Amino acid sequence: MDSGMQPLSVVIPTYNAVGQVEGLLTRLSHFNQKYGDDFQVIVADDFSGDGTADEVRKKFDWVDVVANEKNRGFGINVMTGVEVARHPYLATLNSDIDLIGNPFKELVTTLEDDPKLFAVMPMVFNRNLNKVENMARLYCHRGLCWHTELQEEEEWSSVLRGLLTQSSDVKSRLRDVGKSTKPFKSVLCGAAFVCRTDRFNELKGFDPRYRPFYWEDVDIDYRARRKGWHCAVLPSTVVIHRHSETINRFHSQRKLHFLRINQLRFVVAHQDQLSDLSDQKFWWFARSIKELFGGDPVLRQAYFKAAIGSKNF
């Protein structure tokens, strides 16, 4: 077996992923053959109705499968997988991720080289948007925070669009282009990242309040910042993201609701770290009034509770 990479556990959260996750697991099987027990893959299944857990057990008997007895949401599902991770380095990959080459060795090496780095990500290229989705920072506006692109995003999106359409060896070409570029500090994207398992556990992982999905990754990023750590994107590595495949199939009508209420939970929890946030209680109250007129009653109550200083929503 090749011992050229530090031992790594990869957690893949799934929900009704038959026909979706097999390609990723087939690709990862090559790494399992190469690295043996030093490369652990864990599928954490969130009470799928299509038999995802059984199908994975049957087709990929080298994968560790853990299955929830009820649907618990993305963050808690990832934590179910982390509980059985046995290696010092931890990766998470969404089931709708396609790998290009082996990003893990470079990502782990980058972590080892920077003791202040909590998590490192490959560039996550969004096929739907045709751009890199995880070169981002937050900005605040009218009581809430939003993602906006880093200055470098446009350049690297252009590089990737060219490589993906013109090159048969994207990984090698990208390594040549990006090898002299330092990682870019960025907000954590939960679709694909690597971190130290002990640091993830020290922060107690994803906060279960952000269920079923959205903003749990940004929340742990900002909890890491309180420790003096940061997250970054390594531009010599890339994965392809078939963005929101599962969410769009099963939660398309409700995903905006979950995004908005978890966005508010994040801002309330980390308002002391958001230097450009101002008059937030005024804006939360104003938003609660707006939701009275044909809006979301749950979100209206959440805005009102936030405005009066409550975190219980």
Position 179 scores a pLDDT of 82
**What is the CB-side half-sphere exposure of residue 136 using CA atoms within 13 A?**
20
User: Hey, what long-range contacts does 300-306 have (CB within 8 A, 24 or more apart)?
Assistant: 302/261, 302/264, 303/264, 306/264, 306/268, 306/281
Per domain, the residue ranges of the chain are 8-250, 255-307
What six digits make up the tokens of 80? 């179910």
pLDDT digit string, tens, across residues 69-120: 999 999 999 999 999 999 999 999 999 999 999 999 999 999 999 999 999 9
Confidence of residue 272 (pLDDT cuts 50, 70, 90): very high
Determine the Cα–Cα distance for residues 87 and 201; give it in Å rounded to an integer: 12
- Rounded to an integer, the average pLDDT of 23-49 is 97
pLDDT at 254: 85
pLDDT score of 286? 98
pLDDT in tens, 288-303: 999 999 999 999 999 9
Q: What is the pLDDT of residue 168?
A: 81
Q: In this predicted model, which residue has the larger pLDDT, 248 or 224? A: 224
* pLDDT for residue 298: 96
CATH number of this structure's domain 8-250? 3.90.550.10
In 3D, which of 41, 95, 40, 45 has the Cα closest to residue 66?
45
Peptide bond into 103 cis (omega under 30): no
pLDDT (0 to 100) of residue 246: 59
CA angle 77, 81, 87 (to 5 degrees): 150
**Average of per-residue pLDDT across 166-182:** 89
What's the confidence (pLDDT) of residue 137?
Answer: 98
| Beta bridge partner(s), residue 122 | 234
217 secondary structure, DSSP code: H
